[in-house]
Structure 1
């Protein structure tokens, strides 16, 4: 069967009709690219029906593509501003808890013996106050981990896994492979938040008993994965409540890719792949 070579180049052939594929690009001799679409290819015939050539009709999509790019950039800016606002609010609440509630609880603890003469009652109240102080510290640390300012991402994730494992009695392990890159603060915070949210989802929604967090890197991407053995997040209501949209947005503003696979029999796997920072050092 005869197939025109031009048809082969642009993806036309038997069964495809004269409709050309979308998102084609014409390239001029000087290298300038012109996006085209809504294109069609038709034969040019003479009066006797002999083929004289082909007629290519297409629409210049340059303006449309530029508009789509602008809308995408505006959407990224909106998401970035929203996430930055969330982090600032977390910081404010964490400081209020530490400087306000925490200090008040410590002051009460110091004066327990002055207002409660019974040593046994005073000891019981002091114990409860100690628990409240520790809980306020835990909440403050969860909202604004101090280690994110001082340590690399691998150290922060290892600490996160150890803390959650201790407080929930879950089996949470952390592994890193080939990760040596220094990261900008925003990327470090976003990856940490994705891991934090995924681990919380695995415990709260999936009822997982075993969770594995892995951080790896090659020359093309930095990869973070969180896998659990729970019951999955298949329920649509749970999917809406589990912060998945926020995690996806965080990956997108980093120029990365977010995927999630969830099955009631195999658990949940969250994968985030982002380009390494320009200052990354890969070996």
Structure 2
């Protein structure tokens, strides 16, 4: 490579480096000079900003950051937005609006009313350009007020004075609603679908641009493949507005009370250009970055921005040293209270166990006394009546009386046995209950000369059941078997008992004649069974059909956590 060639390459490389440095310098200058965050305050107290950072202090309230473009910035009248990074994900760009309006005029061309349909923020399909953003269809109804002779349709940015942005309207039409036929179109869309060239004037038959700066009202081309024409308002002036409206000669005639339908497609991006402060009611502990940036009339960032680091320190009661002390104190208190409560709970448990032990001893003593004393005396009465019945020369009625006395004694002994079983604390478990139900079912069926079939699962001995619950279940099963003996005309009784998922299931089934419960007079026995089970939190259900037998289902939830070894 020759020396002149190397020299040319070095000169060219130096030129590119200089150009890139100049471009970077210009970009940095625009970014730095675009905005200035000039002040910060909390609770109406001004705070100092040092090295692009501000400390708001603990628990700040009524927080305000003030910012505005530098005076030498040519874009100072464009849209502004801000966001506090770390606290929120959304940009704040002010609240403003543009609108489509219906203005009503009388014969003297005096305005007698107005109906407004506003838009604000950005439309759903807005993507930052007219070519790629999508339209949203809108359909509204309105009624002509008194005095109406004709009306205008207005597309305007005449909302708040600071409103800036773009509002695009296409395919607008107005129809009159009739009662006897289809709607009658009064205003049709005046633009064809061919793109407008830059040389074409913004003149549309029946419409005209107007407002403080009519040049901001233009005819634009939107969409791609296909594209179409639309009315556009590009408001870049925060002191005035622009609008499209129908001309006087093209304004439709109308009468008071006419029902009208207006439809159009729209897209928009609307903000304000007078935003100079960011306000927050309060901020939690943390580190944040306040971003302020400028963006153009279509809502696209221009690259002009500013930022400020924001610190909210924790109050002293949120600092590690304070919480270390508090946690230590709480641990000591919790341990002390825990030991105290544990000791009290153990004392109450000891008292409860002693009371329960004394109660079970008393129940056992009562059961023994009943069995030993009353049982023995009833047995003596039964034996005495049997011996007296064996004496000779007794009248027949005396023998029958002694038989009755002997039978009553046996029944009393049986009832006494049931009472002793219910009172005895040794029987407070499911296994004892199942065994007893089998015994009473077999005994009752044998007395009635019925076949008794048992389908009893193995029941746990360590699951407790109270004397009250045992008594109610046993009485219900006894009542069910008695009903079979008295009314069913059955030849067999099936007793089923199982315990699963803390539920005790008992069924008494017969192959008798069955019945329709609504036709049974009285039904005291059935009601008593249901009431007994309801009193202990269980259910009793009867299924029966004529000539199909009867089944009584008893279902009781038993808390298996109440176990004993």
User: Which category describes the TM-score, using the shorter chain as reference length?
Assistant: 0.5 to 0.7
Q: 1:143 to 1:197 in 2, by over 3 A?
A: farther
For 1:28-78, what per-residue CA distance to the aligned partner results, in whole angstroms no more than 9, with x for missing partners? xxxxxxxxxxxxxxxxxxx959xxxxxxxxxxxxxxxxxxxxxxxxxxxxx
| Residue 105 (structure 1) shift | 5.3
1:161: Cα distance to partner?
A: 1.5
Mark the CA change 1:127 to 1:224 in structure 2 (over 3 Å): closer, same or farther: same
Shift of 1:278: 4.3
Indicate if the aligned counterparts of 1:210 and 1:228 stay in contact, CA closer than 8 A: yes
Q: 1:164 to 1:144 in 2, by over 3 A?
A: same
Give the drift of 1:142: 3.8
Name the CA distance, whole Å, in 1 between partners of 2:435 and 2:521: 29
Partner of 1:129: 402
Do residues 219 (structure 1) and 501 (structure 2) align? yes
Residues 259, 270 of structure 1: 8 Å contact kept: yes
Aligned match of 1:147 in 409, 416, 421? 421
1:274 aligned onto 2:544:
no
Question: 5+ unaligned residues in a row in structure 1: which ranges?
Answer: 1-46, 50-93
1:121-174 deviations in Å (ceiling 9; x for gaps) = 59x977973674244222452476133344411111111112112211001222
1:4-19 residue pairs with structure 2 within 5 A?
none
What is the distance in 2 between the residues matched to 1:187 and 1:103?
33
Whole-angstrom CA distance in 2 between matches of 1:249 and 1:237: 20
Structure 2 counterpart of 1:204: 486
Higher percent of residues as helix: 1
Within a 5 Å distance, the mapping from 1:27-38 to structure 2 comes to none
Structure 2 gaps, min length 5: 1-139, 143-369
Q: Distance in 1 between matches of 2:384 and 2:474?
A: 34
C-alpha distance in 1, partners of 2:550/2:416? Answer: 24
The ranges of structure 1 where at least 4 consecutive aligned residues each deviate by more than 4 angstroms after the TM superposition are 97-113, 124-128, 278-281
The total of aligned residue pairs comes to: 188
**Higher relative strand content:** 2
RMSD: 3.9
* SS state at 2:476 partner: helix
TM-score, with normalisation over the residues of structure 2? Answer: 0.29
Q: How far apart in 2 are the matches of 1:177 and 1:104? A: 40
Residue in 2 that maps onto 1:228: 510
The aligned runs of 1:43-192 (5 Å cut-off) are: 106-107=383-384, 118=392, 129=402, 132-142=405-415, 145=418, 146-150=420-424, 151=427, 152-180=432-460, 181-192=463-474
1:82-126 Cα offsets, whole Å, 9 max, x none, are xxxxxxxxxxxx99x97987765554555668xx5x3x759x977
Partner Cα distance (1:140, 1:241) in 2: 28
Asked if the contact 2:505/2:556 (under 8 Å) is kept, the reply is yes
